[in-house]
């Protein structure tokens, strides 16, 4: 008997003009129903007379309303608030020594990616700049199948065993009776949980540091958190930690900015990413690995590599760059792509394997499971954004929202009906063959003793920060615990801090007006300068925004020169004036993009007052400049623009304040270098101590 036709399971999805999606909606000349029937009127329902009741037979009305009624899907149970971008990963090939994964091992190979950034606790409509951990989830559409690296911007986690995940999230989410506070950890149940579960301390230290309030996604590090196992072409294994290093450097907001932004522009991070991409400044990160020997101990120099509350200091194991990620395309449709993308820690490719980290093990179950509720069934991999770019030839059949039209008669193996096909792949055919490892032991509900050390690395983190960063940690703890009502919770958390660092505990206790308990912090810990984000040489400024205060009398050609100098480094200049419109005439014009009414200091990384600008007494302008000064941003003026700084009480000799006669090259370079330093931290002590 001749073989029956083979099933074609990779039937292509409809492709629209934008490339990968079905863009049926809003194309063609006429509005139609979902059945393709042309619609004559979509504004008036079919009624019995113009003042009569609506008729049930109006199929267009019913279809339109019914579809609308079902437009929403459940938001993610965590990481509901997010934004994403498309891009490319290019391999340096340097990982070839440790992995056979083709997208990493082959120098110059490019792989399409989709990356979603998120906060953890807030609902889908919550603000971007809240104090929280950020998700950094990367989908690599490799030609050996899809690999998802579902990471965070903090290298450690609150808990050591996945069975505790619902507990920590229930504690962090709004309280269940009246659902508040939204997207905040500053409430009783969060601090109740973390003060009772001291394994959370290291992650909490990071959250309370500047890492909890990133400046933007482009200035945020990413971490795979768990230890992964890489396998090379000969079958040799290594243990690795994954890192994303932002090319733009690691920078954060200050707490007051984060709070203002949550009200003034809740989309602060989302807008920054989309605007940057649109302006031609892609987000860029280097992918790196720390490689540790897989010697059977799952430990490196006393650090338990299976404990996700521990990191490996970069001074002990340097991060080796293995490729570059560039995000340069905004999504076409938020729902279809950003909302429907489904990441899964179990989306692995040959050469990348998991370890026994008990947090990772639980995640391997959760991510597939959650999509079944969120995306309404088991066929979510067929959604355009989730579809692998490698050919798919599975034997999964039917189910809700099945869109593939499978052919063939034998969706099972072994078969003779479909000619015995398809075959299974061995390691030489790029099959995912798990490395053999010995697994034995008694079934116990227990952790290894090394998981009991909750403080050494919490202390290491705190002591590795600079003084100004430590001040921010003290402020953050004092703020958050100051929002807690139960005295016993505050006292218990102070007892935790007493075991991290005496000075930290005493300063937070003083802020709360409580006695500082005694603890036993480690005196002699390893200090890792790589954990600090403060730099002393200017970094790149692509994507940064500079606000220029001007009016019709300003030196518009000077603004033009500053704009050109900034553009050369990928930064943008935006003119701010008392009223909207265009300043100047003829060739020398500048469009006003913000007025004193619509601008707020948080939108910009630096402010410059153009020469020739008439001093204004508008309180909004004074507040704008004073706020930027308080947030330690670069502030500059040329010519008689300096009079406005003086009016705002900003001394021209203060750190990070640049003045010049004209917007010449030296002046512009000084301004852009100050932006590259991110903040004039030398100003911080004076600003904090200032009195009115
Ligand atoms: Fe997640 N996590 N997680 N998580 N996680 C989800 O999956 C979960 C953990 C992370 O942009 C959910 O599709 C468990 C660590 C990111 O779509 C869910 C445990 C890390 C995202 C889930 C963890 C993460 C999620 C919710 C403990 C950093 C957003 C919706 C065992 C390494 C992905 C979804 C996106 C999302 C479960 C712990 C990162 C419920 C059970 C550790 C970036 O499956």
Q: What is the pLDDT of residue 1?
A: 40
Q: What's the CA gap between 314 and 529, in Å, rounded? A: 9
Kindly give the number of the ligand 1 atom that is closest to the alpha carbon of 308.
42
Q: What is the pLDDT of residues 642-673, one digit of tens each?
A: 999 999 999 999 999 999 999 999 999 999 99
Strand 320-329 relative to strand 82-91: parallel, antiparallel, unpaired?
Answer: antiparallel
* Residue ID of nearest Cα to ligand 1 atom 18: 367
**Alpha-carbon separation of residue 220 from 152, 231, 234, 251 (angstroms):** 10, 29, 35, 7
Query: ipTM of this model?
Result: 0.98
Cβ of 150 closer than 6 Å to ligand 1, yes or no, is yes
Q: What is the pLDDT of residue 5?
A: 41
Of 202, 199, 57, which Cα lies nearest the Cα of 501?
Answer: 202
Determine the average pLDDT of the residues in 267-284: 96
Cα(186) to centroid(ligand 1), Å: 21
Mutate to test the pocket of ligand 1, among 74, 75, 76, 78 (most ligand atoms within 8 A of CB): 78
Cα(364) to centroid(ligand 1), Å: 10
Q: Are 476 and 209 in contact (CB under 8 A)?
A: yes
Of 83, 157, 153, 79, which Cα lies nearest the Cα of 122?
Answer: 79
Report the catalytic residues: 79, 152
Q: What's the CA gap between 508 and 475, in Å, rounded? A: 7
The first and second tokens of residue 472, run together, are 């921010």
Strand 145-152 relative to strand 134-142: parallel, antiparallel, unpaired?
Answer: antiparallel
Determine the average pLDDT of the residues in 676-680: 97
Of 94, 82, 91, which Cα lies nearest the Cα of 142?
Answer: 91
Alpha carbon distance, N-terminus to C-terminus of the chain: 95
Determine the average pLDDT of the residues in 116-133: 98
Cβ of 115 closer than 6 Å to ligand 1, yes or no, is no
106-120, 390-404, 566-580, 678-692, range with the lowest pLDDT = 678-692
Q: Are 467 and 461 in contact (CB under 8 A)?
A: no
More reliable by pLDDT, 511 or 19: 511
| pLDDT at residue 6 is higher than 50 | no
Determine the average pLDDT of the residues in 32-58: 97
Q: Are 575 and 593 in contact (CB under 8 A)?
A: yes
| pLDDT at residue 360 is higher than 80 | yes
In this structure, the chain runs to a length of 692
Q: What is the pLDDT of residue 409?
A: 96
Cβ of 508 closer than 6 Å to ligand 1, yes or no, is no
Kindly give the number of the ligand 1 atom that is closest to the alpha carbon of 135.
43
* Residue ID of nearest Cα to ligand 1 atom 38: 363
Across 177-197, b (16+ Cβ under 10 Å) vs e yields eeeebebbbbbebbbbbbbeb
Q: Which residue has the tokens 């920590």?
A: 168
Cβ of 204 closer than 6 Å to ligand 1, yes or no, is no
Q: How many CB atoms lie within 10 A of CB 137?
A: 23
Q: What's the CA gap between 407 and 411, in Å, rounded? A: 9
Q: Are 326 and 362 in contact (CB under 8 A)?
A: no
Q: How confident is the model at residue 469 (pLDDT cuts 50, 70, 90)?
A: very high
Q: What's the CA gap between 201 and 465, in Å, rounded? A: 16
DSSP-assigned letter for residue 255: H
| Beta pairing partners, 89 | 111, 325
Residues 6+ apart with CB under 8 A from 596: 576, 577, 578, 616, 618, 620, 621, 624
The first and second tokens of residue 527, run together, are 């200090």
Determine the average pLDDT of the residues in 143-172: 98
Of 225, 226, 196, 280, which Cα lies nearest the Cα of 488?
Answer: 196
* Residue ID of nearest Cα to ligand 1 atom 24: 151
Of 233, 243, 241, which Cα lies nearest the Cα of 351?
Answer: 233
Where do runs of H (alpha helix) occur along 137-183?
165-172
Of 301, 302, 329, 319, which Cα lies nearest the Cα of 84?
Answer: 329
Sheet holding 590-595, edge to edge: 581-583, 590-595, 572-577, 545-549, 606-609, 634-638, 657-660
Cβ of 350 closer than 6 Å to ligand 1, yes or no, is no
Kindly give the number of the ligand 1 atom that is closest to the alpha carbon of 361.
31
Q: What is the pLDDT of residue 692?
A: 55
| pLDDT at residue 604 is higher than 90 | yes
15-24, 174-183, 189-198, 592-601, range with the lowest pLDDT = 15-24
Cβ of 157 closer than 6 Å to ligand 1, yes or no, is yes
Determine the average pLDDT of the residues in 334-350: 98
Residues 6+ apart with CB under 8 A from 630: 256, 687
Cα(367) to centroid(ligand 1), Å: 7
Q: Are 175 and 166 in contact (CB under 8 A)?
A: no
Of 325, 317, 326, 348, which Cα lies nearest the Cα of 100?
Answer: 348
Q: Are 193 and 168 in contact (CB under 8 A)?
A: yes
Cα dihedral 566/569/570/572 (nearest 10)? -10
Kindly give the number of the ligand 1 atom that is closest to the alpha carbon of 82.
11
Q: What's the CA gap between 322 and 287, in Å, rounded? A: 6
Q: What is the pLDDT of residue 45?
A: 98
Q: How many CB atoms lie within 10 A of CB 314?
A: 16
Q: What is the pLDDT of residues 578-597, one digit of tens each?
A: 999 999 988 789 999 999 99
The first and second tokens of residue 165, run together, are 């995940």
Cα(306) to centroid(ligand 1), Å: 18
Phi, psi dihedrals of residue 376, rounded to the nearest 5°: 80, 30
Reduced to 3 states (helix: H, G, I; strand: E, B; else coil), residue 557 is: helix
DSSP letters along 364-429, please? HHHHHHHHHHHTTSTTGGGSGGG--SS---------TT-------S--SSS-STTTTPSPPP-GGG
DSSP letters along 185-203, please? --SHHHHHHHHH-GGGHHH
Phi, psi dihedrals of residue 385, rounded to the nearest 5°: -70, -25
Cα(230) to centroid(ligand 1), Å: 22
Cα(333) to centroid(ligand 1), Å: 23
Q: What's the CA gap between 545 and 272, in Å, rounded? A: 10
Q: What is the pLDDT of residue 15?
A: 35
Q: How confident is the model at residue 690 (pLDDT cuts 50, 70, 90)?
A: low
| pLDDT at residue 7 is higher than 60 | no
Cβ of 244 closer than 6 Å to ligand 1, yes or no, is no
Q: What is the pLDDT of residues 195-230, one digit of tens each?
A: 999 999 999 999 999 999 999 999 999 999 999 999
Cα(341) to centroid(ligand 1), Å: 13
| pLDDT at residue 84 is higher than 70 | yes
| pLDDT at residue 141 is higher than 50 | yes
Residue-range domains of the chain with CATH: 10-39+53-71 (no CATH), 82-386 (2.40.180.10), 459-531 (1.20.1370.20), 545-689 (3.40.50.880)
| pLDDT at residue 11 is higher than 80 | no
Mutate to test the pocket of ligand 1, among 74, 76, 139 (most ligand atoms within 8 A of CB): 76
Q: What is the pLDDT of residue 482?
A: 98
Kindly give the number of the ligand 1 atom that is closest to the alpha carbon of 370.
44
Q: What is the mean pLDDT of the chain?
A: 94
Q: How many CB atoms lie within 10 A of CB 638?
A: 27
Cβ of 289 closer than 6 Å to ligand 1, yes or no, is no
| pLDDT at residue 23 is higher than 60 | no
Q: What is the pLDDT of residue 14?
A: 38
Q: What's the CA gap between 558 and 668, in Å, rounded? A: 10
DSSP-assigned letter for residue 476: H
Q: What is the pLDDT of residues 240-254, one digit of tens each?
A: 999 999 999 999 999
Determine the average pLDDT of the residues in 360-384: 98
Q: What's the CA gap between 605 and 544, in Å, rounded? A: 6
Q: What's the CA gap between 320 and 565, in Å, rounded? A: 33
Q: What is the pLDDT of residue 170?
A: 98
Cα(488) to centroid(ligand 1), Å: 31
| pLDDT at residue 408 is higher than 90 | yes
DSSP letters along 573-610, please? EEEEESS-EEESSTTS-EEEEEETTT--GGG-SEEEEP
| pLDDT at residue 20 is higher than 90 | no
């Amino acid at each position: 008997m001749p073989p029956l036709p083979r099933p074609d399971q990779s039937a292509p999805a409809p492709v629209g003009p934008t490339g990968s999606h079905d863009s049926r909606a809003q194309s063609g000349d006429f509005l139609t129903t979902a059945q393709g029937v042309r619609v004559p009127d979509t504004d008036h329902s079919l009624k019995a007379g113009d003042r009569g009741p609506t008729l049930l037979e109006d199929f267009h009305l019913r279809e339109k309303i019914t579809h609308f009624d079902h437009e929403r899907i459940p938001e993610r149970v965590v990481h509901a608030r997010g934004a994403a971008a498309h891009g490319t990963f290019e391999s340096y090939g340097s990982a070839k020594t440790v992995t056979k994964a083709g997208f990493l091992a082959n120098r110059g190979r490019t792989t399409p990616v989709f990356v979603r950034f998120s906060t953890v606790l807030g609902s889908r409509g919550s603000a971007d700049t809240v104090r929280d951990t950020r998700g950094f989830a990367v989908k690599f559409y490799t030609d050996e199948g899809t690999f998802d690296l579902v990471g965070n911007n903090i290298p450690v986690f609150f808990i050591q065993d996945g069975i505790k995940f619902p507990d920590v999230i229930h504690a962090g989410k709004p309280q269940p009776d009246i659902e508040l506070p939204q997207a905040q950890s500053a409430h009783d149940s969060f601090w109740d949980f973390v003060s009772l579960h001291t394994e959370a301390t290291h992650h909490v230290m990071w959250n309370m540091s500047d890492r909890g309030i990133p400046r933007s996604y482009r200035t945020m590090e990413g971490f795979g958190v768990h230890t992964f196992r890489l396998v090379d072409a000969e079958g040799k294994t290594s243990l690795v930690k994954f890192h994303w290093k932002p090319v733009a450097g690691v920078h954060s907001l200050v707490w007051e900015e984060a709070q203002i932004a949550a009200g003034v522009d809740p989309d602060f991070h989302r807008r920054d990413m989309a605007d940057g991409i649109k302006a031609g400044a892609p987000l860029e990160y280097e992918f790196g690995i720390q490689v540790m020997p897989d010697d059977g101990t799952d430990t490196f120099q006393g650090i338990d590599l299976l404990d996700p509350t521990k990191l490996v200091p970069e001074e002990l194991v340097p991060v080796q760059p293995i490729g570059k990620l560039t995000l340069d395309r905004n999504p076409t449709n938020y729902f279809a792509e950003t909302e429907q993308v489904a990441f899964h820690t179990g989306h692995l490719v040959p050469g990348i394997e998991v370890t026994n980290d008990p947090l990772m093990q639980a995640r391997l179950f959760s991510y597939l499971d959650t999509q079944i509720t969120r995306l309404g069934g088991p066929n979510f991999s067929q959604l355009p954004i989730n579809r692998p770019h490698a050919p798919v030839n599975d034997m999964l059949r039917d189910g809700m929202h099945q869109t593939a039209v499978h052919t063939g008669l034998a969706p099972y193996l072994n078969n003779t009906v479909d000619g015995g096909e398809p075959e299974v792949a061995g390691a030489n055919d790029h099959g995912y063959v798990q490395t053999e490892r010995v697994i034995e032991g008694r079934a116990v509900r227990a952790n290894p003793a090394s998981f009991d050390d909750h403080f050494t690395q919490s202390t290491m983190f705190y002591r590795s920060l600079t003084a100004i960063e430590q001040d921010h940690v003290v402020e953050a703890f004092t703020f958050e615990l100051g929002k807690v009502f139960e005295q016993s919770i505050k006292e218990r958390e102070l007892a935790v801090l007493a075991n991290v660092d005496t000075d930290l505990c005493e300063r937070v206790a003083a802020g709360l007006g409580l006695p500082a308990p005694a603890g036993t912090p480690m005196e002699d810990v390893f200090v890792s300068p790589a954990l600090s984000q403060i730099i002393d040489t200017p970094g790149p400024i692509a994507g940064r925004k500079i606000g220029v205060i001007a009016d019709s009398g300003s030196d518009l050609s000077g603004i033009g020169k500053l704009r050109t100098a900034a553009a050369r480094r990928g930064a943008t200049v935006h003119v701010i004036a008392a009223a909207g419109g265009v300043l100047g005439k003829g060739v020398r014009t500048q469009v006003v993009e913000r007025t004193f009414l619509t601008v707020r200091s948080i939108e910009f990384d630096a402010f410059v007052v153009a020469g020739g600008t008439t001093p204004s007494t508008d309180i909004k302008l004074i507040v704008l400049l004073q706020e930027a000064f308080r947030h330690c941003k670069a502030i500059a003026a040329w010519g008689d623009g300096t009079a406005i700084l003086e009016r705002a009480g900003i001394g021209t000799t203060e750190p990070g304040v640049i003045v010049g006669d004209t917007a010449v090259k030296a002046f512009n370079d000084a301004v852009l270098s100050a932006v590259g330093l991110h903040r004039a931290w030398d100003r911080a002590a004076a600003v904090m101590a200032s009195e009115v």
